[in-house]
Amino acid sequence: MKAAVVYKYDSIKIAEEAKKFIEESICHAEIFHIPDKRLEGYDFIVSVGGDGTILRILQEVEKCPPIFGINTGRIGLLTHATPENFKDILPGVVDRWEIEKFMRIEAEINGKVMLRALNEIAFLSNTPARLIGLRVSVDGVEVEDMRCDGILLATPIGSTAYALSSGGPIIDPYLESILIVPVAPFRLGWKPWVIKHDRRIEIKVSRERNALAISDGQKILEVGNEDEVAVFTSQFPAVFFRSRYNRLERIKGKLMSLR
């Protein structure tokens, strides 16, 4: 068995400590600063950073080994431990090997999957402070046609991220669904949509300007009126070691701390 330790730029000391601890108590470990597809070849991944570090890992891996997160960031909704207690938690987690999977979504552009996200895929105006026209269809039925700064297609895990700050609801992280939330819509009384996870959502961009398609704030592509864009559930979920925390209690606690 072998482990990969992936760290964000200011957490190298904790990452080196984690690598040494893993090698002394669990298995061989190697360290990465920049995640890449080689991570798929490890038995498990230890992320040292915040939720953003985990999102960067998930941008690079398709078939995801179980992830254990050591939080050195601000929020840490996806993490399992802190630098102070990870040595007490990690060995038992690996020994039990209980995992949980969370859905990801993909954006297909002109017939090819180009983006994958755990939180959300955003379609935003490519011109700051200028509205963009977007039409949204679900299984061929048009459900929205609006002018806005953009629109978010989010997972249940992602409902507590960008979608929440844009006025969307908090969704149980174990409820498989896709959330549609406009960003600053030019319309009174708008409501978000919560769509069954196996639906196919199509996005049509107006001719006036292009949109930037952004996955988890990490990867960006430009799409225009001539592009065929669809979003749907990925067949490759994100895989985590099961947390000792109740997910709903953790969400509540973290969000309360932000008030």
Mean pLDDT of the chain: 95
How much is the pLDDT for 56? 97
* Token representation of residue 152: 């978010």
- Is 51 tagged catalytic? yes
Q: Inform me whether the pLDDT recorded for 212 exceeds 80.
A: yes
Q: Comparing C-alpha atoms, which of 205, 230, 223 is closest to residue 107?
A: 230
Q: Inform me whether the pLDDT recorded for 186 exceeds 90.
A: yes
What gap in Å lies between CA 77 and CA 161, rounded to an integer? 10
Distance of CA 164 to the CA centre of its chain: 13
* Token representation of residue 31: 């360290």
pTM (predicted TM-score)? 0.94
Catalytic annotation, pick one of 51, 88, 172, 216: 51
Task: Pick 52 or 249 by higher pLDDT.
Answer: 52
Instruction: Give 189's contacts (C-beta < 8 A, 6+ positions apart).
Output: none
User: 139-167 pLDDT, tens per residue?
Assistant: 999 999 999 999 999 999 999 999 999 99
User: 90-140 pLDDT, tens per residue?
Assistant: 999 999 999 999 999 999 999 999 999 999 999 999 998 999 999 999 999
Q: Which amino acid is at 191?
A: K
How much is the pLDDT for 232? 98
